[in-house]
Amino acid sequence: MQTTITITSKKDTDIINITEKIQEVLEKSKAESGLVNIFVKHTTSALTITEYEPGVIKDTRDVLEKLIPKNQHYSHNDLNNDDNGHAHIRSSLLKPDLTIPFKDNKLLLGVWQQIVLIDSDCISREREVVITIMSSKD
């Protein structure tokens, strides 16, 4: 089974918890066990698993800004007359996809693990996230 959901991001490294949306899609599939693959279709967004709490969110933004600052010179910005070169680099160092096991129609995440979308673009965007459920017969 495969479906696409749309997530609206805010500008400047928005970090959005999408765990419940993924779990809802999984529940609707009625698949018992297997793997779910999540893929964001944009070059300025990425996916990761982390503890979704204010301290980690702030720390993630701070570290991304230190490693790949927004106000640095990027050739991409010159060539494309925009200012999101940093967002492309940030996303390329993270990843556009995750694969998570599930059993009894529930994601097998740890207690503090949430699925998050990180959008580093300079403006609010509509982001498409493709969810592919691969189930097995137990």
Rounded CA gap, 105 and 102, in Å? 6
48 pLDDT exceeds 60?
yes
Q: Which of 108, 122, 104 is nearest to 10 (CA)?
A: 122
Whichever domain contains 111, its CATH number is: 2.60.120.460
Rounded CA gap, 11 and 107, in Å? 29
What is the pLDDT of the chain when averaged over all its residues?
Answer: 95
SS3 category, 12: coil
55-101 pLDDT per residue, tens: 999 999 999 999 999 999 999 999 988 899 999 999 999 999 999 99
Q: Which of 39, 94, 41 is nearest to 64 (CA)?
A: 94
Question: What range defines the domain where residue 119 resides?
Answer: 2-136
Q: How many domains does the chain have?
A: 1
Phi, psi (5° rounding) for residue 106?
-130, 135
Percent of the chain with pLDDT over 70: 99
